[in-house]
Amino acid sequence: MNSFKNRLNLRAILLIGTASILLLIQFLALLPNVTTPIERTEYTVRDLIMRTRGTQEPSQDIVIVAVDDFSFTWTGYQWPWPRSYFAEIVDQINKGGGKVVGMDIILSEQDEDPANDKALAKALEEANAAVSVVQLFTTNTDGQIVYTYAQPIAPFRSALDGTGTSAVKRDEDAIVRSVQAFDEYNDRLIYHWAFDIASLYLGVDKPSNPTDTSLEFNEQTVPLQNGRMFVNFSGPAETYTTYSAANVHDGITLEQDPDAFRGKIVLIGATTLTLQDIYPTPFSAQKPTAGVEIVASTIDTILNGAYLRETPPWVTLLITIVAAIIAAGISSIKRPSTTVITMVAVMTGYLIVGLVVFITQRIFIPTVAPEIMLFLGVVLPTLEQAVSQELEKRRVRSLFSRFISPEMVDQMMDTQDLNSLNKRSDVSIIFSDIRGFTTLSEKLAPEDVVALLNPYLEAMSNVIYEHGGTIDKYEGDAIIAFFGEPVPFKDHAARALRASLDMRKALEKLRNQWEKEGRPNQIEMGIGINSGEVFVGLLGSAQRINYTVIGDNANLASRLQDLTKTYAWPILISESTYQQVKDEFETEFADAVTVKGKTQPVNVYKVVGRKGAPKSEQLQSWQK
């Protein structure tokens, strides 16, 4: 009972400890500028969920005019291109009826030819609406951080209908999943230019009431995380309709499709690798997406109000706690295979729930921490249980190795419940004793007694182990052993006699060795054997325990050993043992004796040896 309680307590400690660590990590994740390993893994899982959802139909109201490799080759220009070339592109867009022109081109410096700036400014002014980008960046000068605000030069400021930042946010794994919704410069709020483009396209007011967690736009609350807005990417690179800048400039695009720009948002930006305005996204870690296309996805997200959200921190903590409770329930299942199947099913089910919630509600629910909780909450207690069982097996093995051979111990390890070892069973019991050892020991020094007794006990024990016997105990020079438990043998009586005869042989070897060493060697051994039902089991206290036999049949074996002195015969057996071994061993009836504790006489037999054994191997009487 105490062991069971201790196991439950340890299991509870493991579960609570795991949950506490995960909750602490999630609390640390709330701190600014702290990204935990769980957060990094969560990013990866969210990318997987988005890819599993698949691509979505991009808005047909957003198109891109790409400064691509073909345009570089066609024009032969080096970067930066003349502003007059962009002016002619904007003219084509205006001609095609574009509703909003977005220039993802830095206009904060003058062109080599001022006339080119005037041409582009004129084209932008003639556009239905035009938006461009500003830059906010910091520099460290002599240990002081200097904030710089780079905006379009004067001709463009008057021609543009809006400007904004274009900052994308790379997470710790360098993947872009969000944009900075707004920035501040000299107490001035500057929103991401995607909001300016969306407000001009929809004809609504610009954003308002910005906080780190939200802002208001088009009568909707836009969810933010530390001022960042998650981009609901429609797909990988080249998802949005894209026209080469050279084809637009030369009028080829409008020739092929006069409605290519009509009523649409037209973004002009670089897609070539040469200008390095490309980023990995959840859809395209291997094939980066151009910055202008990330802007397209951002605008698409805003126009459709398809904002991505994540659960509040308290929900994440609550789900982790619930996962710990579920893990406790799963770990209590006794069958390991059922435990594993249930754990995998619950973890898989939770992933499916996360995918469904994202697809239907565009909400990211926490995945990594609950999954870790489910996994560790099941595995750690299960591992603890396995370790406890292994330790218990080692304890049992250590316990029984004192009594029986290692081979027998291994067979016993299949026993799951030690209480099952306590039972009534039919066995054969051996009592052996050295004749006259007490008198002999009085004549020897203590160290000589030990030097004589230890080799004797070891040799006899080895013989008993070889025949599958169990050592009950040593009482001085006496050995008590039994056959038939804990590993049952139908021939337990025959095994007991075989072991007894081999013990005689082992004694003869010891006597020869002691004679050579000049030690006392004229000793004899008496053995009594009885077969019958006794109680077999573990008896003792918490500090000391013994695997032993108790009962009248055990006492009879002891009495038979005492009678070996009376009959001066090495091995005596009872009637019950005789009936089981008479076909294999040669015996002689000795007497019917009324022993202590018995009211009826007991037939006693002398064991002569194995049937057919030569005269030299047959037992002889010793002198009284």
pTM: 0.65
Place of tokens 């202590």: 596
Distance in angstroms (rounded) separating the CA atoms of residues 404 and 398: 10
Question: Tens digit of pLDDT for each residue in 329-340?
Answer: 887 887 878 888
Amino acid of residue 118: K
At 34, is the pLDDT very low, low, confident or very high (cuts 50, 70, 90)?
A: low
Tens-digit pLDDT profile for residues 429-448? 999 998 877 777 777 888 88
* Residue scoring higher pLDDT (475 or 419): 475
Based on its alpha-carbon atoms, the radius of gyration of the chain, rounded to whole angstroms, reads 46
- Pairing relation of β-strands 162-165 and 130-141? parallel
Cis ω on the peptide bond leading into residue 155 (within 30° of 0)? Answer: no
- The SS3 of residue 183 is strand
Whether 229 contacts 177, CB under 8 Å: no
Q: Tell me phi and psi for residue 3, to 5 degrees.
A: -60, -40
Compute CA distances 238 → 257, 272, 297, 314, whole Å: 19, 12, 11, 38
Q: Which two tokens stand for residue 569?
A: 């015969």
SS3 assignment, position 231: coil
Handedness of CA 95, 96, 102, 106 (dihedral sign): negative
What does the alpha-carbon distance between residue 477 and residue 27 come to, in Å, rounded to a whole number? 69
Dihedrals phi, psi of 173, to nearest 5 degrees: -90, 15
Rounded CA-CA distance 366/323 in Å is 11
> What value does the mean pLDDT of the chain take?
86
Q: And the tokens for 71?
A: 């345009």
The CATH superfamily label for domain 406-617 reads: Nucleotide cyclase, GGDEF domain (3.30.70.1230)
Tokens encoding 530? 């009885």
* Selection from 610, 605, 606 nearest residue 621 by Cα: 606
Indicate the DSSP class of residue 212: S
Q: How far apart are CA 305 and CA 32, in angstroms?
A: 27
Q: So what's the pLDDT on residue 41?
A: 81
* Structural domain spans, the chain: 2-34+311-391, 42-307, 406-617
Does residue 247 carry a pLDDT above 90? yes
Record the tokens describing residue 278, joined without a space. 């490309």
The DSSP H or E segment spanning 329 is helix 313-331
Environment class of residue 355 by beta-carbon count within 10 Å: exposed (0-12), middle (13-18) or buried (19+)?
A: middle
pLDDT band at 415 (very low <50, low <70, confident <90, very high): low
More confident residue, 355 or 476: 355
pLDDT at position 258 is 95
Asked if residue 142 has pLDDT above 70, the reply is no
Question: What one-character DSSP code corresponds to residue 31?
Answer: S
User: Tokens representing 231?
Assistant: 């981009």
